[in-house]
């Protein structure tokens, strides 16, 4: 799939990131189909013409904002996961908060509709990012005492990572706030770690 780019007009990386954040906010609120370039320009604090100097059309902007979102969110989650000063429980909670918590209550359209449009317009970008995220979580679990509690039952670190990911997604859908999401996620992680505490 080729991506169209606007012929001219580049902005510095900080300004571009702010513009893509604004676009993502509008796409999350209205969905791809109902979001307008006018609304995105207003939210970003630029003129409609200025927006078109950076992006050829709404589809081009949507692709760029999804790629920006995936890279930023994955980097934030990986940084939380790599913080060895904290326990694996705390790192898992912080990682999933970075990955999903920041979006609690910010999606105004059907999640299914947004996912379908994203898959149609960006191909495998989100699926590949999800895969990299789950693999990173699996590596952290494999390097922790957690795997010792589950390996005898034939469960792999990747299976545990995927189960925790699915749980976190479900919690995000029903959470009334980011704080509630983190609180419930911490319970899920404690459940995961319960076999370790039972041995002590």
Burial 67-77 (b: 16+ CB within 10 A, else e): bbbbebbbebb
Topology adopted by domain 13-193? Tetracycline Repressor; domain 2 (1.10.357)
pLDDT of residue 58: 93
Q: pLDDT-based confidence at 1, cuts 50/70/90?
A: very low
pLDDT of residue 76: 94
**Confidence check: pLDDT of 112 > 70:** no
More confident residue, 4 or 29: 29
Q: Determine the Cα–Cα distance for residues 93 and 167; give it in Å rounded to an integer.
A: 12
pTM exceeding the 0.75 threshold for the entire prediction: yes
């Amino acid at each position: 799939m080729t991506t169209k780019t606007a012929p001219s007009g580049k902005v510095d990386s900080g300004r571009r990131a702010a513009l893509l954040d604004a676009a993502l906010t509008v796409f999350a609120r209205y969905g791809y189909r109902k979001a307008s370039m006018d609304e995105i320009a207003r939210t970003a604090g630029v003129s409609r013409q200025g927006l078109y100097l950076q992006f050829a059309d709404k589809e081009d902007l949507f692709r760029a904002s999804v790629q920006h979102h995936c890279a930023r969110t994955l980097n934030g989650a990986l940084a939380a996961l790599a913080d060895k000063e904290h326990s694996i429980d705390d790192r898992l909670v912080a990682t999933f908060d970075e990955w999903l918590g920041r979006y609690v209550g910010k999606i105004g359209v059907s999640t299914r509709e947004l996912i379908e449009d994203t898959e149609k317009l960006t191909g495998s970008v989100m699926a590949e990012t999800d895969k990299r995220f789950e693999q990173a979580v699996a590596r952290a679990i494999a390097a922790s005492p957690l795997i010792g509690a589950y390996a005898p039952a034939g469960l792999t670190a990747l299976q545990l990572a995927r189960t925790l990911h699915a749980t976190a997604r479900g919690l995000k859908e029903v959470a009334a706030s980011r704080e509630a999401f983190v609180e419930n996620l911490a319970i899920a992680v404690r459940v995961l770690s319960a076999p370790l505490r039972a041995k002590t």
